[in-house]
């Protein structure tokens, strides 16, 4: 048995659902999930569908037939994925280890249906962690003088390993435009605050000084505008005047792990669809 996941957005009009479902019915598929949403303001239709087939399906031929018989008729932007191939995910990390440990633990327990061919870091601190999980580790230092060359090396490695998307597990460097251009809406970052909020490297210290009552974390796709990409997942926890900076940091790190893992999982399961710097998440 094989499964196909379809993501669609297109101008809203009548007949879309009927034509899409009929296409899979004629191919003897069994639709096990379907959800749709209409952005009334922009008159845009969004849809996610999962369909199972009793026999192996030629994904290339199915894509071509769908394009000719359905997609072109409705001027669709669409993606079709088969579950026969695991997505290949690269992890970027610096010195903080909590998100890395969490991601790798979920990976090893088969919670994340991906293959991780490499970990890239601008420091050597977490090389042993990668070795413990049996994943190749690449140390690529990044300085003001070497950042362009570093980006070239990173991209070469990613292309060599046929990486589908990247997860920034607290990677404390600005991603170069060249890398973002090669992986549009395929680089997931965890931001240590509830965006939009406190900028900089120490948001919990700023939150403490302001006496905030909640702190949060945000996973989002990376764009050229820093920390302003489409939001995938967010969560918060309540705090009070009795909590210290250390308490805020510990609570924040717990949130970061959970929110990043959810964002990554949504992406792996093809539940996210980006439109106009906004993410539609089918959950």
Can you tell me the distance from the alpha carbon of 171 to that of 245, in angstroms, rounded to the nearest whole number?
A: 22
Do 68 and 93 belong to one domain? no
In the predicted structure, residue 272 carries a pLDDT above the cut 50 = yes
Q: Average pLDDT for residues 173-178, to the nearest whole number?
A: 93
Do 251 and 143 belong to one domain? yes
Do 240 and 110 belong to one domain? yes
Q: Average pLDDT for residues 95-110, to the nearest whole number?
A: 97
Q: What is the extent of the structural domain holding 103?
A: 88-281
Q: Say what the pLDDT of residue 96 is.
A: 94
In the predicted structure, residue 174 carries a pLDDT above the cut 70 = yes
Q: Say what the pLDDT of residue 195 is.
A: 44
Name the percent of the chain in helix, strand, coil, to the closest 5.
Answer: 35, 30, 40
- pLDDT, one tens digit per residue, over 23-38 is 999 999 999 999 999 9
DSSP character at residue 115: B
Do 232 and 111 belong to one domain? yes
Do 94 and 71 belong to one domain? no
C-alpha angle 227/233/236, rounded to 5°?
Answer: 90
Q: Which two tokens stand for residue 9?
A: 């957005």
Can you tell me the distance from the alpha carbon of 142 to that of 157, in angstroms, rounded to the nearest whole number?
A: 15
Q: Which two tokens stand for residue 160?
A: 């060599």
Do 65 and 101 belong to one domain? no
Q: Which of 65, 82, 99 is the last residue of a domain?
A: 82
Q: Say what the pLDDT of residue 206 is.
A: 73
Exactly one of 227, 235, 247, 254 is catalytic; name it: 227
How many of the other CB atoms lie within 10 Å of CB of 65? 15
What SS3 class is residue 77?
A: strand
Which residue's structure tokens are 């702190």? Answer: 215
Structural domain count of the chain: 2
Q: Say what the pLDDT of residue 163 is.
A: 98
Q: Is the omega angle on the peptide bond into residue 268 within 30 degrees of 0, that is, cis?
A: no
Is residue 227 annotated as part of the catalytic site, yes or no? yes
Element of type H or E holding 89 = strand 89-93
* CA trace torsion 230, 35, 268, 8 (10° rounding): -70
Contact present, 236 and 254 (Cβ < 8 Å): no
Q: Say what the pLDDT of residue 1 is.
A: 82
């Amino acid at each position: 048995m094989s499964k196909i996941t379809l993501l669609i957005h297109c101008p809203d009009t009548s007949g879309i659902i009927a034509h899409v479902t009929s296409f899979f019915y004629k191919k003897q598929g069994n639709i096990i999930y379907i959800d749709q949403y209409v952005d009334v303001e922009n008159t845009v239709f969004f849809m996610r569908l999962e369909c199972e087939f009793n026999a192996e399906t030629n994904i290339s031929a199915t894509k071509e037939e769908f394009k000719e018989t359905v997609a072109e008729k409705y001027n669709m932007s669409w993606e079709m994925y088969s579950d026969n191939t695991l997505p290949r995910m690269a992890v970027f990390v610096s010195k903080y280890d909590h998100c890395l440990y969490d991601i790798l633990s979920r990976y090893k327990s088969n919670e994340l249906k991906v293959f991780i061919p490499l970990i890239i870091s601008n420091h050597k601190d977490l090389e042993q962690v990668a070795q413990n999980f049996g994943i190749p580790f690449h140390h690529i230092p990044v300085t003001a003088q070497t950042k362009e060359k570093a980006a070239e090396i990173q991209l070469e490695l990613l292309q060599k390993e046929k990486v589908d998307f990247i997860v920034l597990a607290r990677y404390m460097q600005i991603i170069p435009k060249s890398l973002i251009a090669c992986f549009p809406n395929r680089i997931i970052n965890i931001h240590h605050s509830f965006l939009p909020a406190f900028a900089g490297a120490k948001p919990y210290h700023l939150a403490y000084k302001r006496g905030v009552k909640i702190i949060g974390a945000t996973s989002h796709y990376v764009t050229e505008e820093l920390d302003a990409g489409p939001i995938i997942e967010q969560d918060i926890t309540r705090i009070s005047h009795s909590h210290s900076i250390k308490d805020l940091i510990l609570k924040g790190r717990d949130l970061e792990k959970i929110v990043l893992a959810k964002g990554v999982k949504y992406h792996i399961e093809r539940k996210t669809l980006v439109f106009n710097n906004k993410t539609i998440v089918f959950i």
